[in-house]
Amino acid sequence: MDLLIASAIAENGAQQAQGGGIQLLLLIGLMFVMMYFLIIRPQSKRAKEHRSMLEALNKGDEVVTTGGLLGKVTEIGENFVQIEVAQGTEVKVQKQAVGAVMPKGTMKNL
């Protein structure tokens, strides 16, 4: 009789373990969905906005680089941008280093 009870308990435990596996998969799926909406989607949105800002960059725009240089765009190449940081002083930086386009007249106010 004890053998039948032990096998019944073992079968019941196996069924619970299978149900736990489905719950674990649902939990992992939920974590991935949360990670997508909290991390991946906002980052790709920021990258898209930065790409469109670089494409709209024009000669004469006042920009700030990621290194903190403020200057006026004097020449735009395929991969590099030439920026005038002071009268007669020009610096060539990668396009990706341009962090933001500032409003016109920002350099005069400083």
DSSP annotation of 104 reads T
pTM above 0.85, yes or no: no
Q: Which has more pLDDT, 60 or 20?
A: 60
Domain residue ranges in the chain: 1-56, 58-109
Q: Which CATH number fits domain 58-109: 1.20.120, 2.30.30, 2.60.40, 1.25.40?
A: 2.30.30
* The predicted structure's pLDDT at residue 106: 87
pLDDT at residue 108, as a whole number: 85
Amino acid at 105: G
Phi, psi of 88 (to 5 degrees): 85, 0
Q: What is the pLDDT of residue 72?
A: 95
Are 81 and 57 contacting, i.e. CB atoms less than 8 angstroms apart?
Answer: yes
Q: What is the pLDDT of residues 38-95, one digit of tens each?
A: 999 999 999 999 999 999 999 999 999 999 999 999 999 999 999 999 999 999 999 9
How would residue 102 be classed by pLDDT, with cut points 50, 70 and 90?
Answer: very high
Strand partners, 101: 63
More confident residue, 34 or 1: 34
